[in-house]
Structures are given as structure tokens and as C-alpha cells.
Amino acid sequence: MNSLLFRLGLRWLVCSLGLWIAAGLLGSGIDYQQKASVIVVAGLVLAIVNLIIRPLVVLMALPAILLSLGLFMLVVNGLMVLLVSKLYTPLHITNLWAAIFAGVVIGLVNYLVSTIVERKET
């Protein structure tokens, strides 16, 4: 059950769900034209960006992350969401603060889903 395809699909689901919740909470901060397909595709793009680009950004930002005791990870997560909005234009994030908030929401959803999946595996 821990296959790479399952984990990528789970991340896709988590990213999509987190974006949808963040868009609902922020209102005008995240515009997805009220289309579920935009959220689903943006979730896939975010999952791929988190898989490929995020580790490199974390490695380059490691001094800032260590100096801020990990709080700079909020900015890194926000930058990944902002990058997705630039790569996939139907998703529009108004500013960095909205992207950081979306990153926090996605992180919380990821934590909850991971906890549920781990409990079912044991």
C-alpha cells in the first residue's frame, strides 16, 4: 500500500483538498473560477512541485530555516503555492500572504490525512 503511485495520489488528493479549503477560507485571496477541475489540476501541479522543486528550495534555504527555528518553512510552502499559481494560470493567488496561508492549510490537511492513513495501516 506504500507504493510510489499511492503516495503520489494521496499527495495529489491532499494538495487539492487543502487548496479547496484555503480558497473557501480566504475568499478573494485565491481565485479558481469556481471550477473543481482547476483545483484538481492545481493539486496535481502542486504535488509535482513539492516532489521535485521543494527539496531543492529547502536545501538552499536551510540557513534561514535553522536561524528561524523552522518558521521559514511557512515562507517556503507559500512560495511553492505561489509558483503553482504562476505555472498554472487558471489558479490565481493574489499575494504572498494568501499563498503562505494556503501553505499552512495544506500542511494541516496533510498532517490530518497522514495521521489517519498511519492509523489504518497499523
Select from 35, 22, 37 the least CA-distant residue to 99. 22
Separation between Cα atoms, residue 14 and residue 43, nearest integer Å: 8
Q: Per the structure, how many domains does the chain have?
A: 1
pTM of the model: 0.89
Domain that holds residue 117: 4-121
Q: What per-residue string of b and e applies to 51-75 under the rule 16 or more CB within 10 Å gives b?
A: eeebeebeeebeeebeeeeeebbeb
Could you report the per-residue pLDDT of 67-117, keeping only the tens digit for each?
999 999 999 999 999 999 999 999 999 999 999 999 999 999 999 988 888
